[in-house]
Amino acid sequence: MKHLTRRTILAAVPAAIALGVPFVSARAKDYGPGVTDKEIKLGNTGPYSGPASSYSPVPKSQVAYWKMINDQGGINGRMINFISYDDAYTPPKTVEIVRKLVEEDQVLLVASPLGTPTNSAIWHYMNEKKVPQMFVATGATKWDDPKGHPWTIGWQPNYQSEGRIYATYILKNKPDGKVGVLYQNDDFGKDYLKGVKDGLGDKASMVIVETSYETTDPTVDSQVVDMKAKGVDVFVNTAIPKFAAQAIRKAADIQWKPLHILSSIGNSVGATLKPAGLEYAKDLVSDFYLKDATDPKWKDDAGFKEWSAFMDKYIPDGDKTDAGYVAGSSLAATLAQVLKQCGDDLTRENVMKQAASLKDFTVPMLLPGIKANTSPTDFAPIKQVQMAKFDGQRWNLFGDLITGAVG
């Protein structure tokens, strides 16, 4: 009898496998490239070297974040194999590396490549190959284009919508103001300018000075002096930290006190306001979507604590005041949510489908109340910001969350 039983069992095993395998795959266990029962392979590029290497915390913190996810057991039981390469912020290198990721490494998707020129270089390739270009780490407006480029999705509030939010604020608080805009002579600067003008609508003639700088300029003093001379009383300062600080200092030196709006690019206390002099930065207005890690008011906040613990364990030598670590880990957290939603259907199609169906998702370092939402016609996950005023020590958020979607 014992003999017979063993035989029956032995015979039953292949039968069960034969019956079971099609049954399992019918339960939508569908894998795209780079996915197995144990692993999901993701690709990433970032500026570890080269002119934009100051942004390297963004890819670094993503690597660390996936390490933490793996230590916690992965996503739906699968470990994340996150392959991150240096593209030195040069578009040809990005093309080469992304082709390597897609064709050689066979990754499921390319996660958060950093930079506008670098993402532009792979934009067509990704969409032609139908590989998700997920949550790009750039605020250019063009990434929200579900019809033309259904395999590319943005993440942060884009610069144009920020510009519109400033316009709304100006119309409400200084409807007869004379506006001067200082912007960087490149895509992100021009996006801000366009947003401000579009937001002012038929009152766009309020903008009486549009002046730009190059990143290689020594100072922006002459631009600031020029604005005062022309009678500007609303100063929209969309410069990067170095120049934003110079402009704040120069305005104070020549005793010019316009309504001074500082863009989110340059509103870091450590990088901009301290060098400019905190006392000169009083009454500046700006907008935020991520928590400012230098602000002590978050020290008991659950999200900040979670992020801080992550930093202590996985990036112990990382500078917590560097906003790149906040952005990188938040990007990775959003992607983790998408992969969780995918379940066992880990095809590239489903990844895009899930990325386009985020519902009120939030990550620890987003401001309270700000949620990522997407739909098949909306590829701009984060659209809300909150205005804040500087009191000489720290930013104080005020007013409601403002949505400034630009499609």
| 185 forms part of the interface with another protein (CB under 8 A) | yes
Whole-number Å distance between alpha carbons of 86 and 66: 17
- Torsion angle, alpha carbons of 339, 342, 348, 354, to 10: -90
- Residue 389 pairs in a beta bridge with 285, 396
Q: Which residue, 184 or 286, is less far from another protein as judged by CB?
A: 184
- The least distance separating another protein from the CB of residue 30, rounded to whole angstroms, comes to 25
Q: Which residue, 214 or 279, is less far from another protein as judged by CB?
A: 214
Please give the biggest Cα pair distance in the chain.
104
Residue among 33, 74, 91, 150 that touches another protein (CB under 8 A)? 91
| 49 forms part of the interface with another protein (CB under 8 A) | yes
Residue among 4, 8, 14, 104 that touches another protein (CB under 8 A)? 104
- The least distance separating another protein from the CB of residue 190, rounded to whole angstroms, comes to 8
CA angle 186, 188, 192 (to 5 degrees): 115
- The least distance separating another protein from the CB of residue 131, rounded to whole angstroms, comes to 13
- The least distance separating another protein from the CB of residue 222, rounded to whole angstroms, comes to 18
| 194 forms part of the interface with another protein (CB under 8 A) | no
Binding segment toward another protein, per CB under 8 A, in 95-103, 198-206, 273-281, 397-405:
95-103
Asked if 272 and 266 touch (Cβ cutoff 8 Å), the reply is yes
Binding segment toward another protein, per CB under 8 A, in 28-36, 93-101, 290-298, 334-342:
93-101
Beta strands in 300-394 (DSSP E): 345-346, 384-390
| 145 forms part of the interface with another protein (CB under 8 A) | no
Residue among 35, 40, 88, 284 that touches another protein (CB under 8 A)? 88
* Binding-site string for another protein from residue 50 to residue 69, where x marks contact by CB under 8 A and - marks none: xx------------------
What are the residue ranges of helices labelled H in 102-186?
A: 116-129, 159-173
Angle (deg, nearest 10), helices 187-200 and 159-173? 40
Rg (Cα) of the chain, in Å, rounded? Answer: 24
| 108 forms part of the interface with another protein (CB under 8 A) | no
Residue among 61, 62, 81, 90 that touches another protein (CB under 8 A)? 90
Asked if 233 and 262 touch (Cβ cutoff 8 Å), the reply is no
User: At 295, which amino acid appears?
Assistant: D
Q: For residues 111-140, which are near another protein according to CB under 8 A?
A: 116-117, 120-121, 123-125
| 213 forms part of the interface with another protein (CB under 8 A) | no
| 316 forms part of the interface with another protein (CB under 8 A) | no
Asked if 153 and 134 touch (Cβ cutoff 8 Å), the reply is yes
Order across the sheet with 207-213: list the strands: 207-213, 179-184, 234-237, 259-262, 285-288, 384-390, 395-403
Q: Which of 364, 360, 335, 347 is nearest to 75 (CA)?
A: 335
As to burial, measured by CB atoms within 10 angstroms (0-12 exposed, 13-18 middle, 19+ buried), residue 400 is: exposed
Q: Which residue, 198 or 378, is less far from another protein as judged by CB?
A: 198
Sequence-ordered list of residues with C-beta below 8 angstroms from that of 147, at least 6 positions apart, any chain: none
Q: Which residue, 311 or 358, is less far from another protein as judged by CB?
A: 311
- The least distance separating another protein from the CB of residue 84, rounded to whole angstroms, comes to 6
| 300 forms part of the interface with another protein (CB under 8 A) | no
Q: Which residue, 120 or 168, is less far from another protein as judged by CB?
A: 120
User: At 16, which amino acid appears?
Assistant: A
Q: Which residue, 107 or 342, is less far from another protein as judged by CB?
A: 107
- Residue 133 pairs in a beta bridge with 110, 152
- The least distance separating another protein from the CB of residue 242, rounded to whole angstroms, comes to 17
Whole-number Å distance between alpha carbons of 182 and 238: 6
| 317 forms part of the interface with another protein (CB under 8 A) | no
Binding-site ranges for another protein (CB under 8 A): 48-51, 84-86, 88-93, 95-96, 99-100, 103-104, 116-117, 120-121, 123-125, 185-187, 214, 216
